[in-house]
Amino acid sequence: MNEKRKATLIGSVAVILWAMLALFTTEVADIPPFQLVSLCFGIASIFSALWISLRGGDVVRALRQPPGAWALGVAGLFGYHFFYFVALANAPAVEASLIAYLWPLLIVLFSALLPGERLKWQHIGGAVLGLSGAVLLVGKGQALAFDPAFALGYGAAIICSLLWSGYSVVNRRYRNVPVGAVCGFCAGAAIFGLVTHAMIEDWVTPDARQWLAILGLGLGPVGAAFFVWDHGTKHGDIQILGVLAYGAPLLSTCLLIAFGKAIATPAIIVGCTLIVGGAVLASASLKSPKDKHQLPVE
């Protein structure tokens, strides 16, 4: 297996971890969002620092990175969550979530700006199929209604999608920055989350069950996921990662159904089929690197 394919597989682990987000957050619905962001990223930074140390690494050295890498990392991690919660607070959840979830498609399109990358028709087709499936899964097959009265929320959702897709693509520029640096980015996001929480929210003390869910979030969907995504976007096939990202709502829906928190409907089945089909289509480019249907981007 070549290094690029291996990095792509490592990056795709983030999709599996993000799929657990909805299941975990059902247990912490009473915790204010920015308090939750601060706690989860705080846990992620602490455990990642321990992981680096136990492997014989130097945490301080891992954090000595260019200011641009710090700005990108903290803006990506905290900025995404900040604007996502602003969107949910100022627009209907379904429409806001779907706008925010344009980021996988934007990753595929923005990747064309990277030197040495080629955007294939399979990537675009797979991303469109994935987006169509996500619309069915998130919208549950219901008609969407974008009311101008919620323009603030929709605007925040657009910024949210641009921030994460931009972070994921520009991250390639810092491919020499070690994955361990994400430890510092998580700490930065935790600090900004705590400051925002102190300004607009009241502290809610989690119970034992909620602390376990918060720990799970900090170790997985809001922890390890960002480390493997960092490696994947820097060294893997970013177009395929963008398409595979639509697997998160698919797996998330399957988990919710398995735990009795959602019901399988025809819309969900069709949505899952579209997402799987999009992933298969995009991944076909791995088997045919010399495909004639390529769009040169340089």
Nearest Cα residue to 236 out of 117, 94, 113, 69: 117
Run of H or E residues at 294: strand 294-295
Quick one: average pLDDT of 283-298? Answer: 48
> For residue range 257-285, what is the model confidence (pLDDT) as tens digits?
787 766 777 877 887 788 778 777 766 65
Question: Within a 13 Å sphere around the CA of 267, how many CA atoms are in the beta-carbon half?
Answer: 13
Predicted pLDDT of residue 295? 41
Single pTM value for the model: 0.83
The span from the CA of 281 to the CA of 114, in Å, is: 22
**Dihedral of CA 190/10/157/221: which sign?**
negative
The span from the CA of 221 to the CA of 295, in Å, is: 34
Nearest Cα residue to 187 out of 18, 21, 44, 70: 44
Quick one: average pLDDT of 16-35? Answer: 87
The span from the CA of 145 to the CA of 147, in Å, is: 6
Percent of the chain exceeding pLDDT 90 equals 46
